[in-house]
Amino acid sequence: MTKKKNDMDFGRAFEELEQIARWFEKGEADLDQGLVKFERATELAKLLKGRLQQAENKIKEIKMKDETD
Amino acid sequence: MQTMTVSAFLAYVNETFKAIWDSTEIAIEGEVSGFKISQGQWVSFDLKDADALLNVFLPIWKLQVPVQDGLRVRVFGLPRVYPKYGKFSFSAERIDLAGEGALQKALALTRQKLEQEGLFDPSRKRSLPRFPERIALIASRESAAYGDFIRIVNERWSGLEIDLYHVLVQGERAPEQIARAIQVANTPHPNPLLRKEREHDVLILTRGGGSLEELMAFNDERVVRALYASKIPTLVGIGHERDLTLAEEVADVRGSTPTDCARRLVPDRNEILYELATLQERIADDLQEKLDYWSRQADETVSMVDRWLEMIVLRSSSLERLLRSFDPRAVVKRGYAIVSDADGHPISSIKLLSPGKKMDIQLRDGEVEGVVESVGRKK
């Protein structure tokens, strides 16, 4: 397979989003940082949703050497 | 008289055995003792009864049933003298388990042995990643199990890369193929740059229901050991809920059926979409709360500055009143006079005056210029 593994790692992106949610919950009050994080969260959520609504599962059969069937 | 070489004689003996012995019709039954596998490919053991012993030898791929010391088996094959050492043995073609419940007994023995070795130890079970990206699926592409698994995965999730390793899931060649597929799936990609992205997150082994005989490939020691050695976390679901094979016992996670495997492998898209929406909402709420807090803080600062300004204004007006009360012009208005010298400096003492000196006198409604006639102390 020459195609790269999914450009976005779903697990990692989801975890980043959860981290942002935790950051907000902790109640750190920095307005600039808050706005940057909010923007990132919105972007992540959009990517994740997009990936769930579009991509299909891909099946590829792997031939094993020395096998006749 | 005839003489023969040793080689020729043993070849003659072996030929004779071959001619007179029906290897498909006659089996020798006895109890296994001293079972041994050498170099991972040769099996040897002694077949015994109360009074006699026969050495049995066969390549491992011909061994299709779990054989252990103490088991009763029926051995099909040919008697043979191994010329190099002159040793008589029985070269087996096939081995069957003998007696009532033999398969269960064999399975129990294998289970016991592997359990003692720690293969089923719960402490070594790994958990599966929540969102796998790439998986190795070992199954028969023609099986209903495969169809069910793929259907459920497609219903639930997307973006998954599935590498299918098609294998036989029953019969004598199945265990070898399955064990090999597990090893191949675990082999790192030869190109180090591609290694990471080609890695499998989960290895799945699955097949549908069947009789104990049909499921025996999943109780095969080779398969169980290959799963045990897998660096990829394993998810195994064989047959129905009630069938528990050794492959499932050694797996990191057991799925009771192929569809259950699919459910354990990937989350439900809708649940994750809901979770995403909830997360987003929570973040937005938290941000709003913070914005409210910040604007309250700002309001407070503004009103503090307001109050401060007000106070300043208040203070300055009373100061003004005070200052105004000191204004000498106000005193003049009340009927007093201010005396100053020609340069406008106020004169408050006779010491500053002498006869003939000019002075200004300010009164309520104007000024008077005058000259001092005489100066005298207060009487």
Confidence of residue B119 (pLDDT cuts 50, 70, 90): very high
Q: Above 70 in pLDDT, residue A68?
A: no
What is the C-alpha separation between A16 and A13, in angstroms, rounded? Answer: 5
Confidence of residue A28 (pLDDT cuts 50, 70, 90): low
Is B105 within a domain?
no
The larger pLDDT score, comparing residue A3 to residue B233, is at: B233
Q: B360-369 pLDDT, tens per residue?
A: 888 888 888 8
Q: B187-212 pLDDT, tens per residue?
A: 998 888 888 888 999 999 999 998 88
pLDDT score, position B379: 65
Interface test with B, best of A59, A61, A66, A68 (most B CBs within 10 A): A59
pLDDT score, position A56: 85
Structural domains of chain B, count: 4
Q: Tell me what the pLDDT averaged over chain B comes to.
A: 90
Is B119 within a domain?
no
The DSSP symbol for B338 reads E
pLDDT score, position B298: 82
Lowest-confidence region among A44-48, B146-150, B183-187, B195-199: B195-199
What is the C-alpha separation between B138 and B133, in angstroms, rounded? Answer: 16
Q: Assess whether B57 and B138 both reside in one domain.
A: no
Residues 287-306 of B with CB under 8 A from A: 287, 290, 293-294
Task: Using CB atoms, pick whichever of A1, A6, A29 lies closest to residue B293.
Answer: A29
Q: Assess whether B141 and B203 both reside in one domain.
A: yes
Residues of B in contact with A38 (CB under 8 A): 283-284, 287
Q: Assess whether B190 and B76 both reside in one domain.
A: no
**A25:B165 CB<8 A:** no
pLDDT score, position A5: 45
Is B104 within a domain?
no
The pair of structure tokens assigned to B320 is: 């003004």
Q: Above 50 in pLDDT, residue B373?
A: yes
Is B310 within a domain?
yes
Q: Average the pLDDT over B249-254 and give the result.
A: 96
Within an 8 Å CB–CB cutoff, is residue B308 touching chain A? no
Residues of B in contact with A40 (CB under 8 A): none
B154 Cβ neighbours under 8 A, 6+ residues apart: A56, A57
Q: Average the pLDDT over B221-248 and give the result.
A: 93
Is B21 within a domain?
yes
Confidence of residue A3 (pLDDT cuts 50, 70, 90): very low
B41 Cβ neighbours under 8 A, 6+ residues apart: B59, B60, B61
Q: Assess whether B241 and B165 both reside in one domain.
A: yes
Q: Assess whether B136 and B262 both reside in one domain.
A: yes
Q: Average the pLDDT over B208-227 and give the result.
A: 92
Confidence of residue A7 (pLDDT cuts 50, 70, 90): low
What is the C-alpha separation between B182 and B162, in angstroms, rounded? Answer: 14
The larger pLDDT score, comparing residue B291 to residue B276, is at: B276
Task: Using CB atoms, pick whichever of B129, B162, B287 lies closest to residue A59.
Answer: B162
Q: B147-178 pLDDT, tens per residue?
A: 999 999 999 998 899 999 999 999 888 999 99
Q: Assess whether B32 and B66 both reside in one domain.
A: yes
Within an 8 Å CB–CB cutoff, is residue B189 touching chain A? no
Q: Average the pLDDT over B93-121 and give the result.
A: 88
Which CATH number characterizes residue B242's domain? 3.40.50.2300
Q: What percent of chain B has pLDDT over 70?
A: 99
pLDDT score, position A29: 67
Q: B299-357 pLDDT, tens per residue?
A: 888 888 888 888 888 888 888 888 777 777 777 888 888 888 888 888 888 888 888 88
What is the C-alpha separation between B371 and B21, in angstroms, rounded? Answer: 168
B353 Cβ neighbours under 8 A, 6+ residues apart: B347, B359, B372, B375
Q: Average the pLDDT over B15-21 and give the result.
A: 93
Closest Cα to residue B261, out of B162, B142, B122? B162
Phi and psi at B27, nearest 5°, equal -120, 155
The larger pLDDT score, comparing residue B328 to residue B37, is at: B37
Nearest CA in chain A to B132: A11
Domain that holds residue B357: 329-371
What is the C-alpha separation between B341 and B338, in angstroms, rounded? Answer: 10
Interface test with B, best of A2, A3, A5, A7 (most B CBs within 10 A): A5
Q: Is the separation of the CB atoms in B75 and B28 below 8 Å?
A: yes
pLDDT score, position B327: 77
Q: Assess whether B164 and B290 both reside in one domain.
A: no
Q: What is the ipTM of this complex?
A: 0.79
Q: Assess whether B245 and B355 both reside in one domain.
A: no
Is B376 within a domain?
no
Closest Cα to residue A5, out of B163, B252, B182, B138? B163
Q: Average the pLDDT over B65-84 and give the result.
A: 90
**B290:A24 CB<8 A:** yes
Lowest-confidence region among B41-50, B137-146, B185-194, B245-254: B185-194
Q: Above 60 in pLDDT, residue A4?
A: no
Q: Assess whether B94 and B210 both reside in one domain.
A: no
Confidence of residue A2 (pLDDT cuts 50, 70, 90): very low
pTM here is 0.67
Residue B227 CB-half CA count within 13 A: 36
Nearest CA in chain A to B181: A64
Q: Assess whether B314 and B346 both reside in one domain.
A: no
Q: Assess whether B138 and B233 both reside in one domain.
A: yes
Lowest-confidence region among A2-6, A35-39, B139-143, B338-342: A2-6
* Domain final residue, candidates B55, B79, B99: B99
Q: Assess whether B138 and B256 both reside in one domain.
A: yes
Is B40 within a domain?
yes
Is B378 within a domain?
no
